[in-house]
Each structure stands twice: as structure tokens, then as C-alpha cells.
Chain A
Amino acid sequence: MALLEVDDLRIDAHTELGEVLPIVKGVNFEVARGEVVALIGESGSGKTTIALSALGYTKPGLEFAGGEVRLDGRDVITMPPDDRRMLRGRNVAYLAQSAAATFNPALTIGEQVTESAVLHGLLTQEEANRRAEALYGALELPDPDRLGRRYPHQVSGGQLQRLMAAMALCGRPDLLVLDEPTTALDVTTQIEVLKAFKKVIREQGAAAIYVTHDLSVVAQIADHIVVLYAGEIQEMGAADDVISRPSHDYTRRLMAAVRPPPAAGQGEGGTEAHLRDAPALEARKVNAGYGRRPDGAPAMKVLFDIDMAIERGRVVGVIGESGCGKSTLARVMAGLTPASDGDILLDGARLGPSVGERTRQELRSVQFVYQMADTALNPRQRIDELLGRPIEFFLGLKGEEKRRRLHELLEMVELPPDFAGRYPEELSGGQKQRVNLARALAADPEVLLCDEVTSALDTIVGANVIELLKSLKERTGVSFVFISHDLSTVASFADEIVVLYAGRVVEKGPVDAVLSPPFHPYTRLLISSVPELRVGWMEEMMATSTAQAGIDRVVTITEVGCPFFDRCPLAIEGTCDTEIAPNRPIDGLVSDRHVIECHREVPELMAWSQS
């Protein structure tokens, strides 16, 4: 008998108006002991709702409408509430998406990891502490014997994510429910967390339900895959089968939305004729940071001597892990965070450092697109107000002309014209992001600064937005700065790439040049960390020296030496940690504008990159 049997599960939503909407429409699957089953689908597909039913739980407003969810042969839906309470944390444990939101900042890690096991009377506090320490070790967390006494803010995001697994596993549950535990993470952190989860699930012999929208993640960890769409199973089977021989249209659609791993040959190529003109936007020796010291310098410096240019009609991708200063760079360009030093030039003319020092025409030319459409759109304004204001403000259009422009914008971002009368909360995540883009386009800008615009979206929705960006680039000739921590997304859209690490440009150049040897060691780490859509990829990846040196380390900003020193397989003791790395132009075949900032000579990097 399987550990968990989901039998014709039906779950309904009840709206305020008394309507009943089926959310889960008769789902059947099983989870055997020691097996990882992935539920995959986009948001709204019911995957989280189904996963939560294993705990006999539904979100408020939802109701079990039929079927059984049997854990060890007992139906958790009809079970008395007291039994169900004993079940949770003891037999089934839940891991939420965001560790930062799960941990209580006021309690130590140890107290929280052991709490549920002690509360259920499974272990005494002493035993639980010992068990937690063993789990920290198994999860490859640093300093296991003292970790329990630290507070959540004292460990990195990836470590906190792994600690959530320790919390769930402390009471030795039979089944783990993991709800998108790596979705919000950088590629390098994602590997670190995935690897630890996989190992600990195997070692503890627990079964797991893994909820995600990311097929390449699933390929690394799941034994079986269940593909969901709109509350129904589209396809299920062994991971290998589903990935190598998808039989259903929707699975194929999901796979098509997964970007191929970044490789040379994806760039748009293009002529270099436009280089005669001044770049649309340029940063020269830009320094910036937050806070203010008495001498006027920022208290915490985030950007160091950034040089980059965005040529007219081109897309420059900026990549790096979180904490590398990508967003700050875009904010400095938009004037939202004034640079402490250096210049931003628009069409060769110097721009004021802050919004207040720029003219309306200058503000119109550089538009910023926020990552989260949810917070970037005023919930109290209808779409026509949201888009109408910049049209009126920057272009001075009124009445009929304004209405025409509004419809043109909606058409441009592929939304129906009747959306004009809606409020943002009546739209889906992808639609909101389109409105967010349309608002920036409403100003008729020269440069669009896109800050992680696809990161909060599902694979398919994100892929649609990228397609939209491509068509907008064709139609409008706008230049883009495209910021993302996802290298494959950047590679598929950008003409040039700027790799940022700890506030410094470590490598820049045309996409093809950056993605082919020689690599900067950090670029290579990023490229090799992008999950590939095949089983067994993670193990191969972790065996490389790049991964062993670079995974499971945090970004530290230093003012001396190369900041990548502590994660670099090629680091030279005594040089890399004390001196700023020189800029090395690469005279490759692709372009002469390819630069790597490294102490190693180009031939050395070349030899290493090809190894």
C-alpha cells in the first residue's frame, strides 16, 4: 500500500456571491514511501491546494467536495480534528515557499526547529536538540553545534531555506509537503538547497510532495511527475518518461517555456553600424550606495566604478546573484537612487543624479519597470487611469487622442481594450505585468529599465512576457536594460550581457562572447548553475570544481581585492584578495568589446574555460 493515496479528490471554492467554483476536479495519484512526487503546473492550477490536502487542510474559502486522501490508509479529510492535529507535524510536515516569512525573527533557530517535535511529545527537548544538530550536519549547514543558538537574520537565505527542512524533519514525518521551496532563489542558491533537500530526503527515508512550476527543478529531484492544469491531471508518470517523452500538449508547452541552457549562438547578432552614434544611455565610473556618512559618501557602498553603455535599439542584460547591485544600478540610471560619484549620460548628455534634477523630457526618456506589478500599480486606480496619466503627463495628450493612445498601448501589450475599465486586482499576474510594461511604454521612452520583470512569474507566463518584450523591441526600437538573475532568460533576449558581482562589472560583452570561452570564473559559475532539463544533471554539476568553490557561499562586498576571491577556483592567494583586478579586453573572433575583469591572464582563463 502506498503511503499517500489521493482518490478522486474534489475541492470547491465558495465565492462571496454564493457561487461554487471547482478548484480541484477529481484527482488521483499515489506517493509511495521514500518517493518524491512533483506536482507541476502554473499558479491557479490547484497544485498547492492538492498538496495541502495531504495535511487535511484547505485554505479559507475552499471546501472538500468529495474523494479521499488516505495517509497510511486513514482518510485525513474525515478524520476527527484532534487526530488530524496529531497527524500534522508528526506524520506530515509542510515547508512553505518563503523561509524568511516562516521563521520568527524573535526566537532562536534551535527553538523553532525543535518546537513541533517537542510539542507533539515525540522527543524530549534534549533529544530534539541532538536530532536537530544531526540534521544540520546532514543538510551541510556550517557550524552545526552552535547553529541552534543563532537567530534567523544571522544566516543566509539559502541556509534558512535548508533550516526549514530541518524544522520539518525534526519529528521524523513520513511525508513532507514542499511548496515551491526554491522558486525565489538565485540559481546558485537553488542548487545548494535542492542538493541538501534531495540528500536529506533520501537519508531520512521520507516521502515528499514537491510543488513547483519549474520543470528543470523537478527533473533533479522527483521520481514521479504529476502535471496539472486547471485542477485536473494532464499527465503523470516516472520523471524520466515525462521529461523525455511528454505525451500531453500542456507538458510540451511547459517544456517549451523552459529556456534552453545559455550557450553561444543565442544572441541577436546585429550590425555594429550604430556604434558611431552616442549610446542611448551610458554609465561612467558610477559609484552608489545607501545611507550617508558625514563626508557625503554612502555608508554602505553597493556599486563600484560601473562602466556600461546601452546602444540605441539594443538590449543589455545585467545578471548576477541577489545582493550584487543589479537593481541599484537600474535605480541609479532612473535617478531613483542618486549616484554618489560618476555620470549617467543620455544621448551623450549628462543627466542630473536624482529625479528632481532631471527635466520632464529626460524623465520621459528613461522609464523604470518594477519587478512586482502587484506593488507597482496603485490598487485604487483603474487601468485607464494608470496608463492615462503618463500619456497626459509626458505627451500632453487629452480626450480622444489620449484614448486612442491608451488603446494602442493595450493592443501593444496584447491586452483586450475593455481591460481599461478594470482594477489591477482583477487581472492575473502576467496581465498585471503587461500593464506595468504598458505604463512605462506610455511615456514613449528611449530606454526601458526592466528590473526582474519575469522573476515573479510562472514559467509559461514569464516566457510569454519575454516574447512580448521581443516584439516591443521590434516595434518601438526602444533600448532595454534587462535585469535578471536568470541567465537563460537574459541569454534569450539580450544582445549584450553585463555580469555584475558584488557591485563590480566582472565581465561584459556581446551575448555570444560572454557565453563562450574564455569565461570569468563567476560567469562560468552562473552558466553552469542553470538547471538543465534532464535527470542527473545536478550530480554532474556538483562534481565540478567551479561548483565546489562557488556554491553555498554568499556575496560579500569588499573594497579591496577581487570580491569573488572566496568563491573562485582560480584565486591567487596574495594577489586576488589584495588588489583590484585589471580589465582584460578579449580579442576574440566575435567582438573586440568583450572585457573580463580578472587577475588571471586571458590564455589561462581560456585553457581553464575549455577544461
Chain B
Amino acid sequence: MSDDPGHPDGAAPAALSTKFEELPDAPPKRRLRLTRVGKVAVSIVAFWLVVVFIGPWIAPYHEADIVADDSFTEAGTFCSQWEPDECSFHLIGTDYLGRDLLSRIIYGARTTIGISIASTVLAYLIGVTLGIAAAVGGVKLDTGLSRFNDAFISMPNIMLGLVVIAAIGSTIPILIVTAGCIFATVVFRIARALALDVMVSDFVEAARGRGEGLWWVIRKEILPNIAMPLATDFGLRLVFIILFTSSLSFLGLGVQPPHSDWGSMVRENLQGLAYGSLAPIAPAIAIATLTISINLIVDDVSAHAGGRLAKRML
């Protein structure tokens, strides 16, 4: 620049010794902070997880033991009518066959949460794999997978579940696979939408322009960017699957006796409502505490990620 006619202060550079730093334009990175409600929710979920792991050792009785010879006994010590020496203590009473309710809820946590987590993991394996495949695999694959998925998603979950289980029987593995496949449809849609969003970003184009392979792009560019919203959805999906398997059990097609499961416990003890028994209420409360807590944690996590995350989920 030999001369600059537009400059009123051509001699200025000497005066420019003062250094003006570039001002940062982003706030410092925020750490996830739970609200008080969120903390309570985390402790409830943690409590149930502990119960899942150490349940059989802390339960007073086995889930299948008929310990009292009367149904729907109240909370407290119960002594047999015929052999008054044989007494047993039940913290929240017994169920319709005289089994200890607390023990059944503790054992039930295992089946209910175990089945749900297994199903959710399966739903995610199928849904995310196919969802990303649809997003990166070109128009034909995308159309094929999406229409196939639409066909399944158009059927009510519970109907689909009933048909499958009525046709091939109800064992725990079948229950897991059925719930996993049904919920994979929703996961597919979310994973596909999120991955499509990332696929069109400049940084993915930069990677592809560099000549990176598809696998690298998926692993390094796409997955890290969709992991957070997917993790949030994992919690929500888990809740839906708990409710789904519980509904199936309630209808008698889920977990079969003598295994205890919160959903089937509500159904089998339904007559107890007439006697004011806790037996149908307690498992319902267990389901409610677990699902609501998971929801509250998800709320906190999404609030942290801002409205942005919520928008992408919808």
C-alpha cells in the first residue's frame, strides 16, 4: 500500500502500538448442573439400580414363596390361623396368594428394569445403525428403509406386541426382541433426522472433501454430534418400554408367573383394591417413581443443552 488516499491519518501506524485483544465471543463452556428435583430423581433411579443388583440378597423372602396362608394381609406380623406359632413379618403386606409383597417388588425390579434396558439397548442398536445408514447411504436406501419403517410405525405398538406374542408365545427373550424391534422404529427416525442434520454441515463436507471414507465420517464426525440428543432420548425410550412391557404384563402376555414383574403384579392383585390392600398400588408406585425420575433427569439434561436440543428432538 504505497498511498492510501481514504485515510485521514496516514501517519497513524506509529500510534497503534497499544494492543487491543480480540474479545472472546463465546461464553465459557458450561458444566451440567442438576436442579434439586433432578438430584432427587437421580437418587431414586440409583436406588432402583441398586435394588436390581443386590435384590435377591436383601429380599426377605423368595418371590415365589407363599408365606402367608391368607391373601391380601395387611402390613405387619401375620400368624397362621391353623398354626399360630408360624408367624411371618410383611412390611407392606402380602399379595393375592399370600406372597410377601416387598420381596416381589424387589425381585420385580430385576425383571422389569432388566427387560426394559435390554429392549432399549436392542432398539438403539437396530434404530441407530439403520438410521445412520439411511442418512448416509443415498436416496434409494433411505427411501427403502424409511417407507418400511413408516409401515411399522403406523401400527399401534401394543397391538403389534399383542399379535407377535400371541402368535409365538411369551418368554423373556421374545419379549425383549419384540419390544426392541417395535421401539427401533422410533429410534430410527430420530437417528436418521439427527444424522441428516449433521451430514449437510460444512465440517462433514470438509472431511469428505479431504477424501475421508464413510466409516470415518460416521465415527468421528456424525456420532459425536448426535450422541448427546440420542442419550437424552435413550432415557425417554426406556420409560416408554417400561410402560409397554408393564402394559403387556398387565394384559397377561408379558412376564409369566411365578416371576414377578411390576406390570403383572398390578393386574394379578387388582381384586385387592376392594379390600384396601396395598398390593395393586405398590407396584404401580414403583413404576411411577422410576419413570417419572428418568423423565426429570432427561428434562435437566435437555435444559442444559438448551432449547436447541428440544427442537431437534421434535
Contact = CB atoms under 8 A, between A and B. Distances in A.
B27 A260 contact: no
A542 interface: no
A370 B22 contact: no
A378 B20 contact: no
Nearest to A231: B23
Given A252-B9, A265-B2, A428-B26, A375 B203 contact: yes
Interface in B3-43: 3-9, 12-13, 15-16, 18, 20, 22-31, 33
B87 to A, nearest CB: 57
A426 interface: yes
B209 A379 contact: no
A43 interface: yes
B219 to A, nearest CB: 12
B201 interface: yes
A560 interface: no
Contacts of B31: 16-17
A556 to B, nearest CB: 27
A426 B206 contact: no
Contact of A44 (B7, B25, B205, B209): B25
Contact of A378 (B3, B8, B22, B221): B221
Contacts of B85: none
Report whether over half of chain B's contact residues are helix, strand or loop; otherwise say mixed: loop
B20 A43 contact: no
B156 interface: no
Contacts of A464: 22
A42 B23 contact: yes
Interface string B202-235: 1101101111100000001100110000000000
A38 interface: no
Most buried by A among B24, B203, B220, B221: B203
A284 to B, nearest CB: 22
Most buried by B among A17, A42, A368, A380: A380
Contacts of A336: 205, 209
Interface in A216-264: 229-230, 243-246, 249-250, 252-253, 255-256, 258, 260-261, 263
Contact of B12 (A230, A252, A355, A375): A252
B33 A252 contact: no
Contacts of B9: 246, 252, 255-256
A521 to B, nearest CB: 23
Most buried by B among A13, A377, A443: A377
Most buried by B among A229, A335, A378, A428: A378
B163 interface: no
B314 interface: no
B1 interface: yes
Contact of B225 (A363, A376, A379): A379
Contacts of A44: 23-25
A299 B210 CA distance: 27
A532 B29 contact: no
B26 A250 contact: no
A144 interface: no
B18 A363 contact: no
Contacts of B7: 255-256, 260, 533
A423 interface: yes
Nearest to B4: A260
Contacts of B12: 252, 255-256
A150 interface: no
Interface residues of B, number: 40
B17 to A, nearest CB: 8
Given A252-B12, A370-B202, A426-B28, A355 B211 contact: yes
A510 interface: no
Interface in A447-505: 460-461, 464, 492
A370 B28 contact: no
A230 B18 CA distance: 15
A17 B210 CA distance: 40
Interface in B70-92: none
Nearest to A442: B210
Contacts of B18: 249-250, 253
Contact of A256 (B13, B206, B209): B13
A219 to B, nearest CB: 10
A430 interface: yes
A298 interface: no
Contacts of A368: 206, 209
A534 B9 CA distance: 12
A343 B209 CA distance: 18
Contact of A266 (B1, B201, B209): B1
A479 to B, nearest CB: 18
Nearest to B32: A16
Given A15-B28, A44-B23, A256-B16, A363 B8 contact: no
A375 B202 contact: yes
A153 interface: no
B203 A355 contact: no
Contact of A243 (B8, B220, B221, B224): B8
B29 A252 contact: no
Nearest to A244: B8
Contact of B15 (A16, A42, A249, A425): A249
B211 A260 contact: no
A316 B26 CA distance: 33
B225 A378 contact: yes
Contacts of B211: 355, 358, 360, 363, 393
Interface in A378-406: 378-381, 389-390, 393-394
Nearest to A530: B6
A425 B1 CA distance: 35
A517 B8 CA distance: 25
A42 B25 CA distance: 10
A250 to B, nearest CB: 6
B203 A377 contact: yes
B23 A230 contact: yes
Nearest to B17: A249
Nearest to A230: B23
Interface of A: 13, 15-17, 42-45, 61, 229-230, 243-246, 249-250, 252-253, 255-256, 258, 260-261, 263, 265-266, 334-336, 355, 358, 360, 363, 368, 370, 372, 375-381, 389-390, 393-394, 423, 425-431, 439, 443, 460-461, 464, 492, 532-534
Closest 7 CB pairs of A and B: A44-B23, A260-B4, A380-B224, A376-B202, A260-B6, A378-B203, A375-B202
Interface of B: 1-9, 12-13, 15-16, 18, 20, 22-31, 33, 201-203, 205-206, 208-212, 220-221, 224-225
10 contacts: A260-B4, A266-B2, A334-B209, A355-B211, A360-B211, A363-B209, A363-B210, A372-B202, A378-B224, A429-B25
Given A378-B221, A426-B29, 16 more contacts: A43-B23, A43-B25, A44-B25, A245-B8, A249-B16, A252-B15, A253-B18, A258-B6, A260-B5, A260-B7, A266-B1, A368-B206, A380-B224, A381-B220, A393-B210, A428-B25
